[in-house]
Structure 1
Amino acid sequence: MTELYQHRARKRFGQNFLHDAGVIHRILRAIHGRPGERLLEIGPGQGALTEGLLGSGARLDVIELDQDLIPLLRLKFGLNPLFTLHQGDAMKYDLSSIAAGDRLRVVGNLPYNISTPLIFHLLSFADIIADMHFMLQKEVVERLAAVPGNGDWGRLSIMVQYHCRVEHLFNVGPGAFNPPPKVDSAIVRLVPHTERPHVARDPVLLERVVREAFGQRRKTLRNTLKGTLDSAAIEAADVDPGLRPEQLDLAAYVRLANQLASS
């Protein structure tokens, strides 16, 4: 490894660089890129996954925020005609400009400090995304993949599962990274629904109902939603107002949002 590659991970970017060859291979196998596909890697870092993604024969766009990594990435991959580098903040990117009519397959070892808002930003482009594979804090993946009645079931679970099928693929220990994080990580696959199993008339109202319900998750819906839906309206949505927020499934929350939309 040359001196050029001795980039120090930056706390402000939440950088933990993946270096375990076995984990890298397992992630690449899960993604299974193919020629003709359009991949987007968010935060390639030092290019641990980038080389393998390009090796699939797919076209690869990458978005990197850290300006110090740009020369390294250009030197390593810039001559490959399948590689396009964008310097900037993925939270501010209009992904339709990158997709250019293709469906994107999104990949990323996401910094823990921005993972949730970044996922919500990407979900706003769900109609042009084929799937997403992310390395996230294990705790976040467990919340994404949670089921009703589970303590992890909440706003993140419901809103992401409204848009996507969620698969918790496998866990990754701290030793796979440099520097090692203080928490375990996991790989998750998010696949946007081609047809949503439950359709909210107004997704903004769904978000509102879910946010208010879980604002005081130990209280019953009768109390948490009293400023939005009274007990009669909750019952009209075929939901028991005496239940707690974590006891409702996605379909019930969609019914509540649709009840609010019709009121």
Structure 2
Amino acid sequence: MHRARRRFGQNFLHDRTIIQQMIVAISPRAGEFFLEIGPGQGALTRPLLDHGVQLTAIEIDRDLATGLRRYPAAQAGQLQVIEDDALTLPLAPLIDQADQTLRIVGNLPYNLSTPLLFHLTTPRAGIRDLHLLLQREVVDRMAAAPGSKTYGRLSVMLQARCQVEPLLDVPPGAFAPPPQVTSRFVRLIPHRERPLGDVDDDCLSRVVARAFGQRRKTLRNALRGLLDAAAIEAADINPAIRAEQVDLAGYGRLARILEHHDSAD
């Protein structure tokens, strides 16, 4: 039996009722192309394959990857196993391989969830949806509204890219070994029309990171060296408010002003 490795953040899902609920939420159809991040011992892999999907699984653990390659579906060409780090996996070839769009599922390691979320939601097109199992607090931050304590950089950047739909909570006992936190299954649907239009991602990221990097400060002080008070006011935002009081559209306006300043320099 495979022993969970702490360095990979492994907690293996085993609760059959929870797994069935997740599969129902995913609603896989035969012939669809899926990418599974961290398949582990195959809790989601097997039922996905049973539904007839074409599945690429990326697993960093060599022993687990070897076990997945023994599946009959791997021998038949329905399952492709990649032994690698999901953070470095180029998504473009997988999107190109899919007949229509790629669907992504995964039980993300909690210690890498934020960088993985940014990586997996970077493509502008070609991904239909993502169904991910994460720490509940992370999903709370992803779905948070302006003005709340959990609203932050992750909220703004993901909501600029995707619709965030929390689905169901998963208790620690559904895993082996059980984590010390409750998990939450979430659906992300990339926007067909991005709410901020063609705003530059780098400019948005810089503004949001700076604003929430010092969230107790006013925007005037937090954005010093990036945008001055006049530029903030030009975005129809009061420089005396704090980062959590600015909505998604407001950050889009700030990013556009920063982009204009950059192009003028």
Q: What band does the TM-score fall into relative to the shorter chain? A: over 0.9
Q: Deviations over 1:8-47 (max 9, x none)?
A: 0000000000000000001101100111210111111010
Identity %: 54
Structure 2 residue 130 is the aligned partner of structure 1 residue 132: yes
Q: Structure 1 residue 126: deviation in Å?
A: 4.0
Secondary structure of the structure 2 residue equivalent to 1:198: coil
> 1:79 Cα shift?
3.1
> Alignment partner for residue 93 of structure 2, among 85, 91, 97?
97
5+ residue gaps, structure 2, are none
Is 1:70 the equivalent of 2:65? yes
Q: What residue is the counterpart of 2:243 in the other structure?
A: 245
Partner of 2:80: 84
8 Å Cα contact 1:200/1:257 also seen in 2? no
Work out whether 1:38 is the aligned partner of 2:36: no
Q: How many residues align?
A: 258
The one-letter code sitting in structure 1 at the alignment partner of 2:120 is L
Aligned-residue offset at 1:101: 4.0
- CA distance in structure 2 between the partners assigned to 1:226 and 1:96 by the alignment: 37
Give yes or no for contact 1:54–1:60 (8 Å, CA) kept in 2: yes
Give, in whole Å, the separation in 1 of the partners of 2:57 and 2:75: 14
1:29 corresponding residue in structure 2: 24
- TM normalised by structure 1 equals 0.95
Alpha-carbon RMSD across the aligned residues, in angstroms, is 1.2
What TM-score do the two structures reach when normalised by structure 2? 0.94
Cα deviation, 1:116-175, whole Å, max 9, x if unaligned, reads 111111122242211101000111111011110111100011011111111111111000
* Distance across 1 between alignment mates of 2:176 and 2:155: 29
Amino acid at match of 1:119: L
Aligned AA (1:257): A
Q: 1:247 to 1:114 in 2, by over 3 A?
A: same
Verify the 8 A CA contact 1:200 1:254 in the aligned structure 2.
no
Q: Distance in 1 between matches of 2:226 and 2:60?
A: 40
Separation in structure 1 between the aligned mates of residue 128 and residue 87 of structure 2, nearest angstrom: 19
SS in 1 for 2:160: helix
CA distance in 1, matches of 2:150, 2:54: 36
In the alignment, which of 226, 229, 240 is matched to residue 228 of structure 1?
226
Residue number among 126, 134, 148 corresponding to 1:150 in the alignment: 148
Secondary structure of 2:166's aligned partner: strand
Q: d(CA) in 2 for partners of 1:45 and 1:136?
A: 15
In the TM superposition, residue 185 of structure 1 has moved relative to its aligned partner by 0.4
Query: 1 CA distance for matches of 2:77 and 2:158?
Result: 34
Tell me which amino acid in the other structure corresponds to 2:256.
Answer: N
What amino acid does structure 1 have at the position aligned with 2:244? E
